[in-house]
Structure 1
């Protein structure tokens, strides 16, 4: 009987740990406001302090829709940035989860992310964040298709944020949609970091292409190397694949945090172990 209770307790603990991991920002504020005419935008804001040094604005990958509620994201929880958001909180930064706008409730494609409407929404998002955290620096951080949203802001107004981070950036299009490679911008007037996984097998985000792009645009570059996770044809571009830095989330975010705090020279970081 003791063994049975022990097994049940262990199982319950695993369920609780999984639930906490799957919904890392269950405590925070849901904020909805107008952006374009007839369109609203929702954010979920979590902060460990009233005056954080950095606010990290997170743009998830395909399809981008988080269906935010009072308890945070209800969909796309497996996305690298969404499931790992607590790491930012633990380090003292505020975090903002960005949902898709009300006229695209079920998600957006990369062409929308690269368009003017998306940029107008991002302008409104940054304005709302600055209103709430007037003394904080702002980093726009995207992963996979979310890098197109961040790149769009970088291209149209490099001064909109204090830093831009592109993880597993979409550099090759499979459906003739916009990519980071389409940006008409270099890194001379903005702090930009590109971070890739050498083990990424997603055809849209090969590490060697991201590295060349970073070098050409004079962005900072960090490369990790992990092959953990789903590398099947169906899952290789998902969050639970090397594309989503499965198993090395804390290490990857720690490197981004270090880059934000100290201006780094372009570099190739040794592979993660």
Structure 2
């Protein structure tokens, strides 16, 4: 589905209506500063998470960045300064009625640039511990959101969610190349039983994330109660490596609009 300003206004209207029903007000909430928490996961291992909490939150979005994971250094404004799509839009995520959690790198240095590690037992144990820590702070539904290599983590977390900690999944710029360990279409997607949005840019030129293969993900989500593939085509100013976040792979020139689209779907997941 092509992305348009008119459609964006419609999506915003949906979010606004839902937020007002919940007693909040979209965009009226100025993003303050979050805090870094350190979650004990495996023996001797902790994972830092950057957290921003809202009393009026409708959900908690847990953001898994691409590459080797993490959220980078904390900038002068008190927010992570990483360039990844999900990280650089952190304050915009916080303008929506969500708690925001960015997942850092575990202290034992497991290599999250390796897809096999992202679907492995150590990463899974880390994620379960993070989700439980989040639930101890807020009972709001947890939505896992991944981009690029982070989609491997997000999909795996939902697939192995035996404790039903995850309420929804969003996969952006998904890794679809079958030669990569853990590529999303290769995972047991039929085990995902929560609403799932697959978002991809039509001009994503990353060799591992070809847009036309995103359909393979949706086709595999046979047991998701709601599943949707959305292709967007907006933005401008793409630069650098096509697999890096400042190209269309990272929604160059339309990153906030992409977040708005995702936020509206989380509030009202429809096919």
TM-score normalised by the chain length of structure 2: 0.79
Larger Cα-atom Rg: 1
TM-superposed CA distance for 1:44, in Å, is: 0.7
Could you tell me how far apart the structure 1 residues matched to 2:202 and 2:232 are? 6
Match of 1:146 among 146, 150, 167: 150
After superposition, give the CA deviation of every residue in 1:140-166 in whole Å (9 maximum; x if it has no partner).
000000001111112212733111100
Q: Does 1:202 align with 2:206?
A: yes
The correspondence for 2:80, drawn from 73, 81, 84, is 73
**Aligned to 1:58, what secondary structure does the other structure show?**
strand
Match of 1:44 in 2: 50
1:30 and 1:72 in contact (8 A); partners too: no
Cα distance in 2, alignment partners of residues 200 and 109 from structure 1: 21
Aligned length: 235
Q: Confirm or deny that 1:97 pairs with 2:105.
A: no
Match of 2:231 in 1: 223
CA drift at 1:50: 2.3
Out of 178, 184, 187, the position equivalent to 1:180 is: 184
Q: 1:102 to 1:36 in 2, by over 3 A?
A: same
> How far apart, in 2, do the equivalents of 1:30 and 1:231 lie?
31
Counterpart-to-counterpart distance in 2, 1:95 and 1:162: 15
Describe the superposition over 1:21-72 as per-residue Cα deviations: whole angstroms up to 9, x where unpaired.
Answer: xxx988111101210011111111013x224111111000101133455934
Give the number of the structure with larger relative contact order, counting CA–CA contacts within 8 Å between residues 6 or more apart: 2
Which position in structure 1 is the counterpart of 2:172?
Answer: 167
Give the Cα–Cα distance (whole angstroms) in 2 for the partners of residues 239 and 172 of structure 1: 18
For structure 2, the 5+ residue unaligned runs are 1-29
Residues 72 and 101 from structure 1, CA distance in 2 versus in 1: closer, same or farther, beyond 3 angstroms?
farther
Q: Corresponding residue for 2:215?
A: 211
Aligned to 1:35: 41
Q: 1:227 to 1:197 in 2, by over 3 A?
A: same
- Deviation of the 1:231 alpha carbon: 5.9
CA drift of 1:187 comes to 6.8
Distance in 1 of aligned mates of 2:192 and 2:48:
32
Q: Is the contact made by 2:189 and 2:217 (CA closer than 8 Å) also made in structure 1?
A: no
State whether residues 65 and 108 of structure 1, in contact with CA within 8 Å, keep that contact through their aligned partners in structure 2.
no
Deviation at 1:125, TM superposition (A): 0.7
